[in-house]
């Protein structure tokens, strides 16, 4: 069964797939991003600097404060960004948080910008694919009796 992050990543087939700890780090950032309340959370009013400052700064800072513990990293960063993944996303999250923490946290610390950029690319492509799908569905509805 495809996970939420599989679905999001599939929206950018030209983006080379990551493996191992790199994949875990990327998927955690995607779950973090998609768990944010974009309607009423504090991040919603600060979108202009989210990708450049809020997301990378909090991801990196949490890697220093978590004591090499992915559960603790998630607790810190998800609280700061008010990220609350839905039920199906929490299942995937619980699996990712069981991965060996040190390699994942090292990648998050040393490759923060690259991971954030990949997350932004995926989020933009997925949003565009959803908009395109909605328009196509709406247009099909207009021609139906």
| pLDDT tens readout for residues 74-94 | 999 999 999 999 999 999 999
- Output the six-digit token pair for 105: 């946290």
**What is the domain partition of the chain in residue ranges?**
22-136
Higher pLDDT, 85 or 131: 85
Percent of the chain residues past pLDDT 70, beyond the cut:
92
Give the per-residue SS3 of 52-120. HHHHHHHHHHHHHHCCCCHHHHHHHHHHHHCECCCHHHHHHHHHHCCCCHHHHHHHHHHCHHHHHHHHH
Q: What is the DSSP letter of 123?
A: H
The model's pTM: 0.90
């Amino acid at each position: 069964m495809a996970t939420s992050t599989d679905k999001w990543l599939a929206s950018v087939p030209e983006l080379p797939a990551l493996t191992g700890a790199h994949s875990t780090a990327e998927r955690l950032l995607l779950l973090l991003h998609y768990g944010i309340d974009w309607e009423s959370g504090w991040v919603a009013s600060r979108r202009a600097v989210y990708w450049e400052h809020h997301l990378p700064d909090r991801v990196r800072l949490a890697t220093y404060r978590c004591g090499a513990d992915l559960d603790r990293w998630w607790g810190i960063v998800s609280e700061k960004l008010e990220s609350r993944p839905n039920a199906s996303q929490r299942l995937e999250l619980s699996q990712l948080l069981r991965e060996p923490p040190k390699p994942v946290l090292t990648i998050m610390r040393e490759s923060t910008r690259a991971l954030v950029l990949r997350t932004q690319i995926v989020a933009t492509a997925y949003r565009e694919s959803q908009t395109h799908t909605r328009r196509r569905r709406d247009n099909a509805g207009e021609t139906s009796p």
